[in-house]
């Protein structure tokens, strides 16, 4: 089976497993929305202030809760299943790509869902909304790749669920800055190309790193 078919097959089943389990849709997304709801409660109801900081809060939530999306149960097959796929001849690169793509789509859905919640709760005003069509996928791609790599690095560890966010979040700082500054640019009508470029560079570096380390990480499976 060529690489593309393997990726498509693995991704399809992984997504199906996730959608039936419903972890992202029924757990992570509501949790993220609750977080969006608590912040105005903590800092006070100042509508102009909330309008201004809404996008920044949104991206923080995406980064912090997006890590949970990347570590959903369906992204990490149990050891027996991993062995089975290895023996069946699934390419480690295909497995990395399939998990990343599935996570990417789920993160994108998470971003859209949390985005609507932010619009409702914070009422941010952007000059142009169209750029979000580039911004959301670029950010989701980077986060899904960091999450998948970190998940593989920490696979099999008991401390995995608390360890991965600590590994991911500092490394994902450029994604947060890129996305938040680009959105800020859209709000005040400034140029955002350099931030999109930054996101594209981060994504490219991560894609190369993910592909290069996929085999090596699988070899070290405990």
Partner 1 sequence: MKARPLDIAAVGTLATAFVAGLVVPPDAVQGDLQRIMYVHVPSAWLAYLSFTVTLVASVAYLRWRSLRWDRIAGAAAEVGVVFTGLALATGMIWGKPVWGVWWTWDARLVLTAVMFFVYLGYLALRRSFDDPELRAHRSAVLGVVAVLQIPIVHFSVTWWRGLHQPPTVLRPDNPQIDAPLLFALLMSVAAFTVVFAALVKRRSEITAKEDEALRFQEAGATAGSDITAPTIGGGSS
Partner 2 sequence: MTSPTVSLRSVAVRKPGSLILRSVDLDLAPGSATALFGANGSGKTTLLRVVATLLRPSSGSGVVLGADLGTAAVDGVRRRIGLVGHEPALYPNLTLGENLELAASIALGRPATAEAQDALQQVGLAGAADRRASRSSNGMRRRIEFARLLILAPDLLLLDEAHVGLDPEAWLLVGHLIEEVTGRGGSALIVAHEEERIRPLVDGAVTLGDGVITGHQE
Q: Which residue ranges make up the site for partner 2 (CB under 8 A)? A: 1-2, 5-6, 9-10, 13-14, 16-18, 20-21, 74, 77-81, 83-90, 219, 221
Q: Where are the beta strands (DSSP E) in the chain?
A: none
Note whether 144 and 100 are within 8 A (CB). Answer: yes
- In angstroms, give the least distance from the CB of 146 to partner 2: 24
Contact flag: residue 147 with partner 1 (CB under 8 A): no
Indicate the residue among 84 and 201 with the shorter CB distance to partner 1.
201
Contact flag: residue 159 with partner 1 (CB under 8 A): yes
Indicate the DSSP class of residue 28: I
Query: Tokens for 147?
Result: 């999450």
User: Binding mask 181-210 vs partner 1 (x if CB under 8 A, - otherwise)?
Assistant: x------------xx--x--xx--x---x-
Query: Which one, of 138, 152, 170, 167, lies nearest residue 213 by Cα?
Result: 152
- In angstroms, give the least distance from the CB of 208 to partner 1: 9
Q: Which of 78, 89, 170, 191 binds partner 1 (CB under 8 A)?
A: 170
d(CA 80, CA 85): 9
Query: Tokens for 191?
Result: 């140029």
User: Binding mask 95-134 vs partner 1 (x if CB under 8 A, - otherwise)?
Assistant: ----------------------------------------
Q: Which window, 51-59, 79-87, 124-132, 151-159, contacts partner 1 (CB under 8 A)?
A: 151-159
Residues 6+ apart with CB under 8 A from 194: none
Catalogue the long-range contacts made by 195-199 (C-beta closer than 8 Å, 24 or more residues apart).
196/131, 196/134, 196/135, 196/138, 198/174, 199/135, 199/138, 199/139, 199/142, 199/174, 199/175
**Residues contributing to the site for partner 1 (CB under 8 A):** 149-150, 153-154, 157-159, 163, 166-167, 169-171, 173-174, 177-178, 181, 194-195, 198, 201-202, 205, 209, 213, 216-217, 219-220, 222
């Amino acid at each position: 089976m060529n690489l593309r078919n393997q990726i498509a097959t693995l991704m399809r089943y992984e997504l199906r497993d996730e959608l039936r389990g419903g972890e992202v849709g029924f757990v992570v997304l509501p949790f993220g929305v609750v977080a969006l709801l608590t912040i105005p409660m903590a800092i006070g109801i100042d509508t102009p202030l909330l309008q201004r900081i809404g996008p920044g809060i949104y991206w923080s939530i995406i980064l912090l809760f997006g890590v949970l999306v990347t570590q959903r149960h369906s992204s990490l097959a149990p050891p027996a299943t991993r062995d089975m796929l290895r023996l069946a001849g699934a390419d480690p690169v295909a497995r990395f790509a399939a998990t990343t793509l599935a996570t990417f789509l789920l993160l994108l859905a998470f971003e859209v869902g949390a985005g609507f919640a932010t619009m409702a709760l914070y009422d941010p005003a952007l000059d142009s909304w169209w750029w979000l069509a580039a911004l959301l996928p670029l950010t989701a791609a980077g986060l899904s790749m960091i999450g998948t790599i970190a998940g593989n690095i920490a696979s099999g560890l008991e401390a995995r669920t608390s360890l991965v966010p600590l590994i991911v979040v500092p490394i994902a700082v450029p994604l947060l800055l890129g996305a938040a500054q680009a959105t800020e640019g859209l709000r005040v009508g400034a140029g955002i190309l350099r931030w999109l470029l930054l996101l594209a560079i981060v994504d490219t570096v991560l894609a190369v790193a993910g592909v290069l380390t996929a085999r090596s990480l699988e070899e070290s499976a405990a």
